Amino acid sequence: MKIIRGFNRNMKYALLAFLLAAVMLLLKSCATTPITSSTSSEEPLFMFVQVADDLKVDDTAKTFRLVNVSQQTLFFSDRPDRIAGHLKMDKYLDEWTAKAGKDNFSANPPNATLSIYEPGQPDNTLAVVEITNPRIDGSDLIYSYTLIDGSLPASGGATTLFIDRIGIGGGVGVGYHGAGVGRRGPGVR
């Protein structure tokens, strides 16, 4: 009987040791396994922001000029990635060429919102536009536009341009094939 009790006690300790080892292996595997979001398998989409000292609009030519535009364009991604950074102007313009993918200024131009501070006005003027044909002129950036909503003043003051998502291509964001790899989200177009 003593032998059976000793055997049962040893088996009990062996079972506890086995369970402890299994739990430790499970915890170790959980600690080294990267956690990924189960809600989204898409690559991040990037939006852009440009800031200028002034705005000049040529309604006849359907162009607007961002006067003394910052030479750095900000970009950021939507949740859950929360990636942000900036591009110098030449790199920003490269992101929108045909070689960068199907969403470019000629094939599928982006929408953008202009927020213009007009001196003497209580609120900023907002206009939603489709932008094409960006070109540098000294320290200014000129876009051709199609007005979607709102109105553009002939001139303004401090101006911010918020640019819609970019499509496949380019190279914004370390480790990503392109800026905004994926599809446009609901309500964008």
In this model, does residue 153 exceed pLDDT 60?
yes
Distance CA 64, CA 153 (A): 10
Q: Are residues 63 and 128 in the same domain?
A: yes
Q: Are residues 23 and 59 in the same domain?
A: no
Under the banding of pLDDT at 50, 70 and 90, the label for residue 158 is: very high
Q: Are residues 67 and 121 in the same domain?
A: yes
Type and span of the H or E element at 16: helix 2-32
Q: Are residues 26 and 58 in the same domain?
A: no
In this model, does residue 60 exceed pLDDT 90?
yes
The mean pLDDT of the chain is 73
Under DSSP, is residue 110 helix (H, G, I), strand (E, B) or coil? coil
| Out of 89-93, 105-109, 110-114, 138-142, least confident range | 105-109
Domain that holds residue 13: 1-34
Residue 29 within a domain:
yes
In this model, does residue 149 exceed pLDDT 80?
yes
Total-model pTM: 0.66
How many domains is the chain built from? 2
